[in-house]
Amino acid sequence: MDFLLQQHIEKQLSSQLSKNLNFEWQPVGGGSINITYKISAKNYNYFVKINNKAVFENGFKEEVLGLQFLKANGAITPKIIIEGTYSNKIYLVLSWIESSLETTHFWENFAIQLANLHQNKALKFGLNHHNFMGELHQKNTFFNDFTPFFIENRLKPQVKLAFDSGLLQTKEVQLFESLYKQLPSIFPNEKPSAIHGDLWSGNFIATANNKAVFIDPAVYYGYREVDLAMSLLFGGFSKLFHTTYNEVYPLEKGFNNRKDLYNLYPLLIHLNLFGKSYLQSIRTIVSQF
């Protein structure tokens, strides 16, 4: 830990609290992109994430906007304490959320919370600013229809990145080109919903009051099925979560036939970030269409 950065963050917090406190720093798990800590002093507890400015040139501003987007649409999020830059480092301080066991009641509540988020609609697919999925740039240019939005803003940029780096070959790019032509007849016709955008099991926290706190967003207005598909990709969600969601806000028929198509995007992200172990899953999906 950079001592000067640590001093800077502590000074910012002490100034905000109008108290000079001695903080303890404890490393915690927080994904594969950022360095993360729990910092504590007396009854004050915070979560801090740190990275190099070269990774996110705007600092954590897009994440702040994403958390504000979720909160404005009724979701529970950590409180934003400080977002800033020091030297070549960027940092984000959030309220500390104590995690608890994922009970039956929690999964039911979480499904209802997500359905309520998805009830917030927009006229177009996209967002008024671009953001990130992991550490990769995520385009949110507005489109009237989901299919061109998904192709131009989600699949094509990641396919190009993978092809340029040698992770995808020409034959696989051709499979994607064939898929693009079929998507208009596959996707349902729904209005754009406010979505989390990166809803895997590491991006929520179960609390003692059986509510879900949403973290690490990649938000935009898209098909709500994107969130449900992502929740199935890497596991970690109770079957009760999906059953309850479908009771509260039923999905269009055929979701199970579409979910893999939505998950091509996070799989391509993982291919570009972590390498060829994700390639076979991508090939299997695109070769079905």
Rama region for 277: left / alpha / beta (φ>0; ψ in -120 to 50; rest): alpha
Q: Which single residue is written with the structure tokens 């016709």? A: 189
Q: How many residues does the chain have?
A: 289
Given 2, 145, 164, 198, which residue is catalytic?
A: 198
- Quick check: is 198 catalytic? yes
Specify the pairing of strand 131-133 against strand 24-27.
unpaired
| Sequence-ordered strand ranges (E) for the chain | 24-27, 35-41, 44-52, 80-86, 89-95, 131-133, 136-138, 193-195, 204-206, 212-214, 220-222
Report the run of H or E that residue 95 belongs to, with start and end: strand 89-95
Integer-rounded Cα Rg, in Å, for the chain is 20
Question: Cα-flanking dihedrals φ and ψ of residue 174, to 5°?
Answer: -65, -35
CA dihedral (246, 252, 258, 259) in degrees, to 10, reads -20
Catalytic residues: 198
